[in-house]
Chains A and B, each alone.
Chain A
């Protein structure tokens, strides 16, 4: 290639590998000034911000942790209260049930006693009524007997006859059927 003859890189390019001292001094001065300005103003500000943010985040993590612990404590307390309330409720129910049972038992007892009393009363009333009825029947029977005997014998009975007849008649009458109803 004839073109390569016109690429005298090696010949004219020695400036490429020869450091330019003037530029070196420029680089040093400019770099050091930039370095000093950045060190004084920029890096501390960024560091401060990042530290602040790190602290904020750390504080927030702590706060969240505290909140979690608090929440757990509250939850535990509520659980405890719930258990307590449940046991109290159980107790109340048990007590109510016992009271109810006792009340029921008492009522039943009272009812039974009342019934017994009423039955007894009734029995007594029936007995008294029966006795009164028997006495009435007996006197009626005696009167009827005297009347019947007078009619048959066409005479008036003396007091002794009267008495004897009544007794005889009554003896023959069976009141056992009436008194048997008592049993």
Chain B
């Protein structure tokens, strides 16, 4: 992404000017990319002008940026609908299982690259389990925590590969209406994180009920120690609320991060230009789109998987302890 990081020094001299001898290769490439970007803006302004040219679908409101997140039912098998969300969930499962089983089949005393990565993932999830849960619960829930991590990670990562899955906004080639390419992730639909969060919520509530010998002990365990008198009902209310908010925070954190990330990439990668009808705006924002794409794919995908799984471990661990 040198195109974005380099502009500052290139501001003063004209980008087209022959470069000084002794300039590093990276700098040369950066300056060239920057020059192409600047020339592109000039080109689009020269060809299309500043006057906006909105597409008819945009003017009529048929095209909206959220359309690409709609789950268009592709086909149904009885009561079971099949749409792109399902496709992505299945893809995530297949890729997860394929990678993990392939790694396990080739396990060696001297590990290769894939095995090192898998072992790192294993040690990471094992570490977070061990830190938050006692031995018994750790043994019981480590597979769940590890699966959550790898499943969400793969779901997030395949969400950055453009695939022809946008059946709502099609494009036409030689008369054929084909689904547009888009980057979609199953967890941009609230159903995905909500289901996983519900699963985790049920499990840690169940563990809490077991550990505190029934609902009364469990409710008592929610209260922090040392609260007396009139404060009790208020604090109790807050604690119960915060307990249920875990479900929402687990869901929304993953969902909103992924949805917002994908929307930002789409907006900066050209959608904003389409909406305002200015071609040069698309070109102008493209570097930002690429930067956000890399940021999301490299950092957010793994970070959100990590946060979801470590919170699962923390909630399970705190369920069996009292305040």
Q: What is the interface of chain A, defined by CB distance below 8 A to chain B?
A: 1, 3, 6-9, 12-13, 15-24, 26-28, 30-31, 33-35, 37-39, 41-43, 45-47, 49-50, 52-53, 56
Contact = CB atoms under 8 A, between A and B. Distances in A.
Given A43-B122, A53-B109, A16 B190 contact: yes
Given A38-B143, A38-B147, A42-B100, A3 B191 contact: no
A117 B271 CA distance: 136
A141 to B, nearest CB: 125
Contact of B195 (A1, A31, A41, A56): A31
Contact of A31 (B59, B93, B276): B93
Nearest to B278: A3
Given A9-B66, A12-B66, A28-B195, A22 B80 contact: yes
Contacts of A50: 119, 122-123
Lowest 3 A-B CB distances belong to which pairs?
A39-B143, A23-B191, A27-B195
Given A23-B85, A26-B90, 6 more contacts: A6-B59, A20-B189, A22-B81, A28-B195, A43-B142, A53-B109
A46 B191 contact: no
Interface of B: 52, 54, 58-59, 61, 64-67, 69-71, 80-81, 83, 85-86, 89-90, 92-93, 96-97, 100-101, 103-104, 107, 109, 118-119, 122-123, 142-144, 146-147, 150-151, 186, 189-192, 194-196, 199, 259, 275-277
A47 B146 CA distance: 12
A156 to B, nearest CB: 142
Given A8-B61, A21-B191, A35 B104 contact: no
22 contacts: A3-B52, A3-B275, A6-B54, A6-B59, A6-B61, A7-B65, A8-B64, A12-B67, A15-B70, A16-B189, A20-B85, A20-B191, A27-B89, A30-B90, A31-B196, A31-B199, A34-B93, A41-B101, A43-B143, A45-B107, A50-B123, A52-B109
B119 A9 contact: no
B100 A38 contact: yes
Contacts of B71: 15, 20, 23
B79 to A, nearest CB: 8
Given A50-B119, A50-B122, A43 B146 contact: yes
Nearest to A35: B147
A138 B89 CA distance: 156
A1 B199 contact: no
Nearest to A9: B66
A21 B86 CA distance: 11
A29 to B, nearest CB: 9
B191 A19 contact: yes
Contacts of A31: 89, 93, 147, 151, 195-196, 199
Nearest to B199: A28
A38 B69 CA distance: 30
Contacts of A38: 96-97, 100, 143, 146-147, 150
Residue among B58, B104, B119, B144 with max Cβ neighbours from chain A (10 Å) = B104
A46 B126 CA distance: 11
Given A6-B61, A50-B119, A42 B190 contact: no
B182 to A, nearest CB: 15
Contacts of A17: 190
A24 B66 contact: no
Nearest to A5: B61
A53 B110 CA distance: 10
A1 B58 CA distance: 14
B58 A35 contact: no
B276 A3 contact: yes
B308 to A, nearest CB: 12
A133 to B, nearest CB: 113
Contacts of A33: 93
B190 A27 contact: no
A34 B186 CA distance: 16
Contacts of B97: 34, 37-38
| Most chain B CB atoms below 10 A, which of A1, A27, A50 | A27
Contacts of A35: 143-144, 147, 151
A7 B190 contact: no
Given A9-B65, A28-B195, A46 B109 contact: no
Contacts of A26: 85-86, 89-90
Nearest to B67: A12
Contacts of B103: 42
Contacts of B142: 43
A23 B66 contact: no
